[in-house]
Amino acid sequence: MRLSPFATRPMRRFACAAVAALLLTACGGGGGGGGGGTQTPPTNQNPPPTNSSPVASFALNPGAGGSAPLVVTVDAAAANDPDGTITGYEWDFGDGTAVQVGEVTQHVYTAAGAFTIQLTVTDNEGATAVAARTLNVSDTSVTVSVSGTINILPSSAVDSDVNDRFSGTTSNNTFDNAQPITNPVTLGGFANLPGTGASTGNLFASGDVNDFYQVELSGGEQILLTIAEPDADLDLTLWDENRAMVDSSVGVTTTESISVPQAGIYFIEVNAFAGASNYVLNVGSTGTQSADGTVHRLSDAFVPGELILTDPSTHQPTISLARLDALAPVAGGGRDARANALRAAREAALEARQLPANARLNAEQRLRMATLLTAKQAARSIGLAAEPNAIRRPLLTPNDPFYTRQWHYESANLPRAWDLTTGSSDVIVAVIDTGVLLNHPDLNDRLVPGFDFISNAARANDGDGIDANPDDPGDLQFGGSSSFHGTHVAGTIGAETDNGTGVAGVDWNARIMPLRALGVDGGTTFDVIQAMRFAAGLSNDSNTVPSERADIINLSLGSEFSSSAEQNTVNQIRDLGILIVASSGNEATDLPSFPAAYDGVVSVAATTISNTRAPYSNFGGTVDIAAPGGNNGTDINGDGIGDGVISTIGDDGSPGATVFGYAALNGTSMAAPHVAGVMALMKAVYPALTPAEFDAALAAGELTVDLGEDGRDDSFGWGLVDARKAVLAAIDLANGQGVDPGPILAATPSTLNFGTFGTELTFTLTNVGTGTLTVTGVSADEPWLTVQATDSNADGTGSYRVIVDRTGLADGNYSATVTATSPAGDATLGVALQVQSANTAADAGLHFVILVDNDGMSNLPAAVVQAQNGEYRFTILNVPPGQYRVFAGTDSDDDNFLCDDGEACGSFRTLDDPETLVVNDDVTAVDFVSEYRLSLQSLSGAQRVGASASSGGGIAFKKPPLPETDTTSTGETQ
């Protein structure tokens, strides 16, 4: 069977039979007629050499098939004979015609059908070999249609002037024509200098140096700019309504960010300093201030006018300080020559950054801007390493920049668990997955040696079968980049935490054992079993075992097929006291998924930010527990990013080295590592924890907050994992150490953002402490808010609905507080919304919808659809029967590739694991989500070495001819 990260489709695995070797001996015979003759030894003791069989292989063009009459060309040039030559080629085309001969030949199919082409090759010693492939020939007289709906986040928006030649351009290049946007917003855009980017696009000749957006903000929001192309350089500036500069972020990595100081009307400017790139602009209620540890904002603490210069040959500061405001042309070499070069860099930088008309900056802001731009230009144009002279201050609490966006940790009550323990390095968690990016800076210090158990070299994608290197080379999934699924899972379990970089992990100290079992198109049960045995220190195909076996095994993978061999392996591992956790699957079904459904495996379902069952999550009698898996199709907390699980990731969607970064994914694959991490925290305080003890505590309600029906239910198992309760239960098992915290009332999520159009959202009240608690009241402090209990318990905990009534409210931003009271203390959550009379329904930009066959080809012209009332409806007509994956997205940079970084992208059912549709009749209800591809790269080294500025990492597709009139809103392709 084939196993994938998201509980996927089957693939047969054929076992190799063991062949017994026969020992052949020569026997002497007596002489004929008379007795007593002696045996004569053979004259040659070496047996004749054994002939090696030839290898049959052939290429087929077109490999994807086509419509009758279809001319195909077959080429057997790849066939070979290891110890001789191939002397014969015979072709059977499967349609009853005569066999043809020849190394290369052509054949015409005159009728539709599925035909098996078989090649038989014969070598010079008469041995033969056979290769076969199936070809689908369609009937052009039979066509069908594929239709559905593409949903987007309500906060989605699109830059009014992008490079896509199909999109109209409405300039937003100045303060006066700034484009209005909402708060929160997730906006896809494009910016470029003249003469850069795709030459076919709208903006190649003129350039699009500045994009301006006007927005009303409440104060405290974070503005995040994510740049798609690593060779481009875009900057971010915030201006107040009087066009005075508030702050500017002018770094050189792929993210820029600014914190909004107070309520007001603002202009947000995206500026192209160099090159061309898509981008994603997020405005939300939470976020990160310092993304990469470098000084790159005007508001950062540095000495204006001073730079530290470093000699690139010695890597030593050769000039400690240089005052830019005092620089003047000087003669001579050495330091004087460097001063001249630095002065030239400043002039070039200020020329490149042309300030908009009527912009207002004070003298210190101008000097700060000159300092930052000079440092950037010095590295770009003259290779002189220069950095601002940062001011150091004592730090009270180190943090991880993207932790404020990791809502899922609050949902699992992790912050309160960390008051009790942050984990132990004595605990090892094995991650059996696609491998891990071993050099990811937020993981590299947490890893122990692992192994690659992918036995098929093509699936492994690293040039060989099993080996000792579990580094993830990528799985080449559709969507422009490999999934780097194992890296995301590992980051949730144990990303390096409180290191000022990236994200936090559930466990701050446990070590991670990376084991590869999934590659291109998933993996096999056999390879997963071998990885499990290695993790447990049992015999396996690697003929080695780890120096320390794992305490916990995480399996964010599965399929609908069971294996007795795998169940037996689980039994062996459980008997050793090792905990096994697995994802329940993403098919939204009650059918069991394996390995999660095996006896002895903890099966994890997924919840959303609202503590509801995720729409994709499997359910049923085999589910044991629930954990945050997220839903990128919502943005309930209003941080400008879909409510997925944020963790470590890589991006190989463009040429050059893989970029290390961070991204939000959703799925039960994301839920399982939350539970594995909590198990690691329990092991830290009670190393002797056994699977039986964990199961007993789970069934006793000691590890979870009960959701759904009382006790165990098919949606959530025994409930949502509660890290603090779990650690307290482990402490109790370790002889009652620790302090009973008593009841604690908590509201999840802590923020509700209705944006411009939302009218109803839900939150949950839970007791995240111990003992009993009674909610005595729930109220809102504004008359336009109504709070209603929807599924509350007798003690008042449970689900509540918040309803907004905008009637009579003037345009603007509004905030309120909902308060729940109890004798044990109160819980509050913030509420934000916008009132905007203009019709600005969600729009993620012009979408192209394509069908991709099993060979990865998109041969039909794309359907071109516009958003209508915040969604896209499409119908693709005249589709030849066949098997297809459905993709949709924008092409803002006009490179004829979908799903580039910074572009909206989606696939049926999910982009992480596109489903194959069998299209024989009209197919309807092909409904899925499109969202902006966003990699939260926050590392100063995030630039790809030697990367090309061109994209090409997405899915190539054919654009239809430009319409003579505007027909793009029909959503139909003929």
Beta bridge partners of 604: 583, 625
| Strand blocks (E) in 275-396 | 276-284, 302-311, 316-323, 385-390
DSSP designation for 5: T
Angle between helices 525-535 and 564-575 (to 10 degrees): 10
Q: Pick the catalytic residue: 408, 440, 485, 674?
A: 485
Beta bridge partners of 917: 884
DSSP designation for 817: E
Say whether the peptide bond before residue 724 is cis (omega within 30 degrees of 0): no
Q: Give the strands of the sheet with 302-311, arranged side by side.
A: 316-323, 302-311, 385-390
Cα Rg of the chain, angstroms? 31
Find where tokens 């907390």 sit. 637
User: Distance between CA 931 and CA 915 in Å, rounded?
Assistant: 17
Instruction: Based on the residue annotation, tell me whether 485 is a catalytic residue of this protein.
Output: yes
User: Distance between CA 625 and CA 723 in Å, rounded?
Assistant: 13
- Which residue in 645, 658, 629, 673 sits closest to 937, CA to CA? 658
DSSP designation for 749: S
Instruction: Based on the residue annotation, tell me whether 669 is a catalytic residue of this protein.
Output: yes
Let me know: does 761 contact 754? Beta carbons within 8 Å: yes
Q: Pick the catalytic residue: 481, 593, 603, 669?
A: 669
Let me know: does 935 contact 838? Beta carbons within 8 Å: no
Separation in Å, CA 782 to CA 117, 779, 787, 815, 890 = 72, 9, 11, 9, 40
Here the tokens at position 201 are: 């696009």
> One-letter amino acid identity for 308?
I
User: Distance between CA 80 and CA 57 in Å, rounded?
Assistant: 8
> One-letter amino acid identity for 566?
E
User: Distance between CA 341 and CA 47 in Å, rounded?
Assistant: 78
User: Distance between CA 729 and CA 508 in Å, rounded?
Assistant: 19
Let me know: does 657 contact 705? Beta carbons within 8 Å: no
Which three-class secondary structure state does DSSP give residue 695? helix
Instruction: Based on the residue annotation, tell me whether 440 is a catalytic residue of this protein.
Output: no
Q: Pick the catalytic residue: 247, 400, 433, 713?
A: 433
Separation in Å, CA 72 to CA 3, 464, 879 = 34, 32, 21
Here the tokens at position 495 are: 């990303």
User: Distance between CA 202 and CA 159 in Å, rounded?
Assistant: 13
- Which residue in 449, 689, 723, 715 sits closest to 608, CA to CA? 715
User: Distance between CA 803 and CA 299 in Å, rounded?
Assistant: 38
Find where tokens 């593409």 sit. 150
* Residue 855 buriedness (CB in 10 A; 0-12 / 13-18 / 19+): exposed
Here the tokens at position 441 are: 């800076």
Phi, psi of 594 (to 5 degrees): -115, 140
- Which residue in 113, 8, 20 sits closest to 65, CA to CA? 113
Q: Can you spell out the DSSP letters for 938-964?
A: --TT-SPTT--S----SEE-PPPPPPS
Here the tokens at position 969 are: 């809103």
User: Distance between CA 323 and CA 331 in Å, rounded?
Assistant: 17
Long-range CB contacts for residues 701-707, cutoff 8 Å, separation at least 24:
702/726, 702/728, 702/729, 703/625, 703/678, 703/729, 704/625, 704/626, 705/413, 705/766, 705/767, 705/768, 707/607, 707/611, 707/626, 707/764
Here the tokens at position 667 are: 């799925």
> One-letter amino acid identity for 36?
G
State the catalytic residues: 433, 485, 669
